[in-house]
Every structure is written in C-alpha cells, then in structure tokens.
Amino acid sequence: MFCLLVQVKKHKLFTKKIKKSYLLYWLKQVLQLKYASYSMLFGQIFDAIATPLVGHYSDKTNTKYGKRMPWYIAGFILVFISFFPIFHRFIPGEIYPQMNQNETFMKFYYIFFPSIFNIGWAAVQISHMSLVPSLTTSRKKRDQLNNQRNTFSFVANLTVLGSALIIFQTIPDSKQDFEVLSYIVIILGTVSSIYFIININEKKLSEGCEKETINIKNYIQEMSEKIGENQNKNSLQTTISLIKNQNINHEKFMTWRDWMKNKNFYHYGIVYMGCRLYCNIISTMLNFFMVYVLQIASEQELADKTPIEIALIPLLLYISSVVVSSLLDLIYQAIGKKKAFTFGTFLMLISSLSLSFIQKNTSYLMYPIAIFIGSTQALILNTGITLISDVVGLKGKSGAFVFGSYSFLDKISTGICLFLISESPFFKNADFIRWITVLAPAGSCIFAWILVIYGKAKDYSQKDEQQIIIQNSVLMSNDKYQQVVNEFAG
C-alpha cells in the first residue's frame, strides 16, 4: 500500500484564522482606520503575486530536506515576524507618540506588514497543499489527506474562536481583546508549526512512496513472467494495455506549459475561486452583518467591548464545519463528490434566504443559519480541493504550479471584492450590507456548482481504487512516467 503523509493532519497554522475573519473588522471597526480597505487589498495582491511564484519555484526546488519543506520554513519565519504588528496598536506610536500624527507612515505600516504576512502565508499554504499529490498516487487517499488537512485546519480555527469567545467576555476593552488574542495565536501557531517541521521528513516519505510504486511494478512483471500459457499472457498484457490506453490521458505527466493548454485547468480553477469567494466573503461580512443589520450593539458599546456574537457565531459556524468535514469520506462513498457539492449548494440557498429576511427581533436565527453556512463551507471547499487533486493526479512535479495558480485567482478576486464592498459609500447601510452578504457569496457558490455539475470529476469506489493502483504501477513502468517516480524521491 502506498505510504501516506498521515502526520500532515497535525499541522495547524492558527494565525490565518484571526487574520481572515477579523482583520477588516479590527482595522475598520475597532481602530477606525480610513484606509483599512487598502490594507486588505494590498495584502491580497502581494499574496496573489507570491503564490504562483512560490508554486513555480517550489516545483524546481531540490534540497536534502525535500522540495516543499524549505519553502514552508521560509514562509513560517515571515508569518512569525509580521503577525504581531498587525494585531497590535500602532507600535511606533507607542514608542514615539508624535508618530501617531503621521498618517502616511501609519498607512504604510498597516499595508507593509499584512503584505509580508501574506507572502509568508503563500509559501506555507502552497508548500503544504502540494505535499498531498506528491506523496500518493491514490485518488482515494488524496481525498482522505485533503479532508484530514482541512478538518484539522478547522480545529485550529475552533481553538482561535474559542479563545476569542472567552477573551471578549473577560476583557472590557475592544482593542486589548484582539491584542491578547494575537498573543495566544502566535504561541499556538509557533508551537504547532515547529512540531510540524520537526516531525515531517518529506525526503524519507517520498522515497518510501517510490519504493512502493516500484514494488507493485515488479510484482506485475513477475506475474506476467510466471504465466506459462501464451493465451493467458496475452490476456494479461491486453488488460494492462487497455488500462494504459483508457487512463493515460487522465494521468499524463504535464509541465506548467501543458497546464496552460488544458481546459480542465481553467475549469476547476474557477470552481476553486468560486468556493473560496463564498467562504471568504461570508466569513468576513457576517461580523458587519451582525453589527449593522442586526444591530447587536451600539457604536459606543462596540468601542468599549467586543460583542460575544462576534466570536460565538463564527465559532458555531466552524463547529458545524468540523463535524461535516469529518464525515466527508462517508459522504463521498455514499453519494459521490458532485452530489455532495450539490447538497452543500442546497444548504447555501437555505442560509442565504434566511439572511434575506432575518430581523433584529429574530436575531436568534443566526445560530441555525451559522450551522448551515459552516456545513456549506465544509462541503464545497473540501470537495473543490479534492477535485483539484484529481486534476493534478500523478503530476506531482507540477502540482505546486496548479495550486499556486488557483490561489492567485482566489487572492485577487477576494481582495478586489472585499475592497469594493468596504470602500462603498453605502458600507454602513443596513440594506447594502444585507444584500451584499447574501448575493455575493451565493452567486459565487452557484456558479461553482454549475461548473462542477458539467465537469469531468470522477467518484471512486473500491473497484475503481484497485484499478487505479494497477494503472499507476503500469504508468510507472513506462520511461515517460519514470521521471515522476524520480521526482517523488528528490
């Protein structure tokens, strides 16, 4: 059986959750910065630029520590040094009070550090995601690893939100709330990342996969030699030939130039972008939805103390995400990926319709709505990523390019959308916030669903898995595909 990177699920980078859910709220609502939208936009732009570059050069990297781990370590360092200045009151102003009057420098400060953070996060994200298709050729196991990776990402999110829930209720200062939360996040993120770096030996795991692949190839060759009757031998050779002819196009090794000519590359890139847009916009806008539409607190109350709902609703959302994510393997086997995505879209429609009609006096409905939103995020995002892994297949060498390109679409689209929303002159208008929160995420999800339905995704079964194992070993016996094995080892 192919070796798997089971330890990958232990990685939990906590810093991304607080930045993703609270950065715009922290800058715009708590610090009351006029240029908060630019901080978000430039951070996303630098993230988008860095992501494909990291993906491209990660594919070309070859060190004694592996292809991906050096990029992970470099990204971790950048994240570590840039996170604290973002979620802390203006540090230069605390040292030199006159700097508080220098708006130009403050603007540069809150654009520079989010940009550095996003460059570091791009290195962490792409190197980590690219490990999966590089370490197993089994579609089913790729799905399992991706689901485990995302499930434990949700666990990290739950830890952050659980801490926020406690802090927001015990510290009567909205600025100090986020500062204390950032200290906790830095400690947890650093410990878990160091643990990941120490325990994951990419080189050793890749070499183990190479040996397993060669063993299966040798086994098939030995079985062929032991068959004495020409008829049976011809039958076996014919079967192998059919498997090669049937699947060679699907698992063909490809360079980044080949990807640019592949329709599926663009097809599932838009699917991924749609899934990410739904998750990012709904997660960011829910905080403002509760403030301006449901009016959970007055402006003065918001300045004095962060409302408990700002932590409780996202916490409930992610609890439901964890539960659904842990069941995805069973869901895929029961109904397949396309139907799983369809079910997630159905839950999205229910939550969107509910957000359209909810009022201040029925704000308690936000709790079941959060459950539907969290379930939707788990279903469509996990499924979208497994579809990408299916597109990558055996092409682990260029897998980072695929993930890098897809993340480029994600970052640019998210940055532009949130910038336009937060810079709108109607931003604090209740009706504007309501319909943006409903229509923008829903439109993204529906568009992604349409592409999934008409895409070429394959659902696996036990029979399919056995055929895939034979298929992969046959491909590895071909000189054209042997370079993939060599790449796994190096």
- Please say whether the beta carbons of 251 and 475 come within 8 A: yes
Q: How many residues are recorded in the chain? A: 490
Report d(CA 61, CA 123) in Å as an integer.
Answer: 13
- The pLDDT assigned to 216 comes to 66
Which amino acid would we find at residue 201?
N
Averages of pLDDT over runs of 10 residues in the chain (490 residues) are 37 58 85 87 89 80 82 91 88 86 88 92 80 64 69 73 87 87 88 83 69 68 61 52 47 71 88 93 93 86 82 88 88 90 96 95 94 95 83 58 79 92 91 96 96 74 48 41 33
What SS3 class is residue 66? strand
Question: CA–CA separation, 378 vs 318, rounded Å?
Answer: 9
* Per-residue model confidence (pLDDT) at position 271: 92
Q: Where are the domains of the chain?
A: 6-208+247-489
pLDDT, one tens digit per residue, over 345-402 is 999 999 999 999 999 999 999 999 999 999 999 999 999 888 877 766 545 556 667 8
Find out if CATH 1.20.1250.20 is the number for domain 6-208+247-489: yes
Helix axes 328-335, 309-326, angle to 10 degrees: 50
E-strand spans in 66-156? none
Q: Which pLDDT score, from 0 to 100, does residue 270 have?
A: 92
pLDDT at residue 69, as a whole number:
86
pLDDT in tens, 116-135: 998 998 888 778 777 766 66
Which residue's entry shows tokens 């709904």?
A: 282
pLDDT at 164: 87
Q: What is the pLDDT of residue 448?
A: 95
